[in-house]
Amino acid sequence: MQSKICVLQVIPNLDVSGASQGCVDVANFLSEKNYNSYILTHSGPKSIEVKDSNEKVFYAPVNSKNPLKIFLNAIKIIQLIKKLNITIVHARSRAPAWSSYFACALTGAKFITTFHGTYNFSNPLKKYYNSIMLKTNGTIAISEFINDHINNCYPTKNYNIRTIARGIDLNFFDPNNVKAHQVELIIKEFNIDYDAIKILLAGRITGWKGHKLLLQAISTIIKKTNHKFEIIFVGPDENYKLKNSLNVQIIGESMNRLPHISNIQFKDINSEVLLIQLDLNGLGVSRGSACASGAQKPSHVLQAMNIDSKFINNHLRFSFGWTTQTGDGSKAADIVMKAVKEIQ
């Protein structure tokens, strides 16, 4: 016998975020327990992970913050509430929460939200926009930290908030399910050093998950120890702006090469601009070998190595000689980071 409870989750995209995974997990759990469950989203690869997705997942531009689209999305939600006999609408982001709020107000369906993060607000209007996540029959905070954030930043009303910690599939992360040959393939593919201390940060590359902070911390730590470190970022990297700001590559790093010369690629900075800035800060580097001095064309060596043409003018050559002393490398790194920051 089918339950009378019928849930519609509304989420901007079913991508690789924790919010999306939670949405999929809840939908599949409800279906397994014989509850009616549906999802309204804009798009995303995780839609195929929803059981009976062709019948359970609907699409609309619920990722948009455009007021007109928010209004049209509210009409779409009203239609789904009536067609599917929805009793609970669960919004997982602010824009779809506004649509859901009005739809529930007009139909009598219960309205709940999940507060997934610390939404920024720089003015009262932005704070009011965020507060829709609390104008509900119940709000889920994914952690005690988020619960405290809500109470500290939105303290004027007695909201109905409950902390429900986000869960994970322990079977998926069971190390016993990982085969030895899979580990060896990963070590070989990414040239991982057995002897290095490895720090793994799992998560989408975004501006607020700590990727830059980790790099800044390691740059300080390596000055105080002789240990070798490897930082491993695991997760989607569609944030190209941030990825490029992190992506400094030593060309031919994994190959046998002269140890005193490094050609380093700075993807988001023109090397001529950086060369001048480094010179002003007291560090002498070059754009190529001495025999190619003054050449205006891209390095034929880099071209032969199939370096992406978009970044072929984003390289600098760092050389160490007999006069180089212990600590000079760290000093040079500090100057480079300062120069990059000044340019950005």
Q: What region does 306 belong to: left with phi over 0, alpha with psi -120 to 50, or beta?
A: left
Residues 6+ apart with CB under 8 A from 131: 154
pLDDT for position 57? 96
Give the pLDDT confidence of 110-149 residue by residue, as tens digits.
Answer: 999 999 988 887 788 888 999 999 999 999 999 999 999 9
DSSP state, 210? S
The three-state secondary structure class of 200 is strand
- What pairing do the DSSP bridges indicate for beta strands 161-163 and 138-141? parallel
pLDDT for position 1? 42
pLDDT for position 271? 77
DSSP 30-75: HHHTT-EEEEEESB-GGGGGSTTHHHHEEE--TT---HHHHHHHHH
> Do residues 21 and 28 lie in contact, with contact meaning Cβ atoms separated by under 8 Å?
no
Distance between CA atoms of 118 and 106, rounded to whole angstroms?
A: 29
Would you report the helix, strand and coil content of the chain in percent, each value rounded to 5?
Answer: 40, 15, 40
Distance between CA atoms of 292 and 289, rounded to whole angstroms?
A: 5
Amino acid at 329: G
pLDDT for position 280? 86
Distance between CA atoms of 216 and 141, rounded to whole angstroms?
A: 31
Residues 6+ apart with CB under 8 A from 263: 250, 251, 252, 302, 315, 316, 317, 318
| Paired tokens of 12 | 């901007």
The H or E element containing residue 111 is strand 110-115
- What pairing do the DSSP bridges indicate for beta strands 261-266 and 88-91? unpaired
274 burial level (CB within 10 Å; 0-12, 13-18, 19+): buried
| Paired tokens of 22 | 């939670």
Domains of the chain: 6-163 (3.40.50.2000), 178-246 (no CATH), 248-327 (3.90.1150.10)
Q: Which of 56, 55, 67, 137 shows the shortest CA–CA distance to 95? A: 67
Going residue by residue through the chain (344 aa), what tens digit of pLDDT does each one get? 445 789 999 999 998 888 999 999 999 999 999 999 999 999 988 999 999 889 999 999 999 999 999 999 999 999 999 999 999 999 999 999 999 999 999 999 999 999 998 888 778 888 899 999 999 999 999 999 999 999 988 877 778 999 998 877 788 788 888 888 988 888 888 778 888 899 998 887 777 778 878 887 887 887 788 888 888 888 776 655 565 555 666 666 556 677 778 877 777 677 788 888 888 888 888 876 555 555 556 677 776 677 666 667 777 888 888 888 877 877 887 888 788 777 76
pLDDT for position 166? 81
pLDDT for position 283? 87
pLDDT for position 212? 79
Give the pLDDT confidence of 287-305 residue by residue, as tens digits.
Answer: 765 555 555 566 777 766 7
pLDDT for position 272? 81
DSSP state, 241? H
Q: Which of 259, 248, 318, 330 shows the shortest CA–CA distance to 288? A: 318
Please tell me the pTM assigned to this model. Answer: 0.67
The three-state secondary structure class of 198 is strand
Cα–Cα distance list, 51 to 5, 81, 114 (Å): 18, 20, 22
Q: How far apart are the first and last CA of the chain?
A: 62
DSSP state, 286? B
Distance between CA atoms of 51 and 31, rounded to whole angstroms?
A: 8
Cα–Cα distance list, 180 to 58, 197, 262 (Å): 41, 20, 34
